[in-house]
Structure formats: C-alpha cells, structure tokens
Amino acid sequence: MSDRIVCKPTPWFLLRAALMLAMFGVFSVLFFVDGKWGYRNENLSYYVWQGFDKAAKDFAARESGLTPEAWQAHAATQTIDLPEDRSILPPGTPDPMPWPAVLQDFEKMKATPGRPPELKKLFDEYRKEADIRRNAPEKAFDAGKIREQWWAFGVCLALTSGAAFILLRTLRRSISVDDEALYPATGGRIPFGDLVRLDLRKWDTKGLAYAWAKTGDGGEKRLRIDGLTYGGFKKEQDEPAERLMRRLREHFSGEIVEYVIEEEPPKEASAPEG
C-alpha cells in the first residue's frame, strides 16, 4: 500500500479566515463602544457645546455695562439645555445641568468675544477637565441612531462567531486518500467501491470537486473536495491537492463529469464560382 496523501488546511485559507475574524471582531468592538458609550458621550459634548455657544451670545448681548458680580449672579442660575430623551446621554448626567464654573467667570468670558477659536479652546479645556472624551458632533444622535449601533454590533458579533467557528473547525480537518479509500474533511472513511460519481467541472478553475458515495439506505451523499482550502496547488510543495486528485482518479471506477469541448466540424470548401 502506498503512503497516504494528506491535505491539511492551507495557509492561504487560514490567513483569510483569520483576517475576517479580526475584521468582524474589530467592528463588533467599535459598534459596541458607540452603542454603549460613544454616541452618548458625543451627545453630551454636543449639548454642553451648545451651552457654551449660548453663554457666549448671552454675554455679548449683556456686556455693555456688565459687572463681574452681575454676570456671575446671572450665570449661576443658568442650566444647559438637555434633550427631552435623557436616555441618549451618559448615565449620571446631572439633571438639571448648571453652567460650568468657567462660564461664570467674567474675565474668561470677556476673553472669548466670538465663537471660534477662543470659545472652542475654552470648551476643549473644560471637556478635558470634565472627562468628556468625545468631540461635539455637528448634530446630536437620537435614540434610533444608538439602536442602529446595537443592531450592527449584533450582526458583526454573529459574523465574528461564524468566522471563528469556521476557522476552528477547518484547523481540525483534513482530506486524505490512500489506495483503498477517500477520507473527506467531514470525517469517516469512504471506500473507492462506494464512490459512484465524480464531478470535476470546477477543479481546473476553482480547485473544487464533488464526489457522490452510496449510503447504507440505498441513497447517495455528496462529498466536497476543496483543493484551495485543503492541500493547495503550490508548485514548490508538489501540488498536494492535485496529487490527491490523481490518486483518487487512479482508483475511481464510477462516472466522471467533466467539461467536454466540442470541436467545430470542418467547413466544407465551397465550389469556385464559374
């Protein structure tokens, strides 16, 4: 008996599966972070920024004849305008939320006559002190947008689980053949006498073939032989998948389905016009 030809998972397939696993895993984390914290923190940043903008405009309207004491007394009674749906803000957000102390500082407000860039710089300094880690977006995210992140997280998590399952399952599998039987990736032993049909129409182009074997109840089951996933066709490795297929064909006695290129019949020469 000749040695068994064993085709293990190819590095090409394993790398592709690992990259897909990593990609879907990263997307899962990003969508989870945005759904759990990210969008809510951006919303908080947005509404606080609107409060800074409102305070700057309010100060500009009152600046003529305004004293530090009068501004502080006015600012101390003001609050940030928050949305009706508090669920789109981080848990623990003060409600009501008073103006930050920096907006009650007469000298600092006097140094920010316009919105950018002085007011933006003042806002960014406060944002760091208050541990608001996201920049203010152009528009606040509503509850529907936050739910979308959770839906996207669920889809990516399912894809991540699927990629992990396929990778781990493939790592434990192989396709092999000896002089007596075929050992498919799904496991088991299929004697050559049980093989009834072999479809090779995709073998040369996609490295994919199908074999049908008899079952105990008189039916047939289909076996997939994937040469790109198992063995491969690298010349420097002596084309493991191709060697496996040659061995299989040497011992196969059933029907083989292949593409047949029909040659066009030769054209009859036409009689010269006379």
- Mean pLDDT for each consecutive 10-residue tract of the chain (274 residues)? 87 95 97 96 96 91 85 94 95 94 91 76 92 91 97 98 96 95 95 95 95 90 96 94 95 86 55 48
Q: Which two tokens stand for residue 196?
A: 């009834």
**pLDDT of amino acid 266:** 59
DSSP state string for 32-85: HHIIIIIHHHHHHHHHHHHHHHHHHHHHHHH-TT--HHHHHHHHTT-EE---S-
CB distance 269 to 202 below 8 Å: no
**pLDDT of amino acid 2:** 62
Orientation of helix 143-171 relative to helix 11-33, angle to 10°: 160
Orientation of helix 120-129 relative to helix 39-62, angle to 10°: 130
**pLDDT of amino acid 264:** 58
**pLDDT of amino acid 274:** 42
**pLDDT of amino acid 217:** 85
Compute the distance between CA of residue 147 and CA of residue 150 in angstroms, rounded to an integer.
5
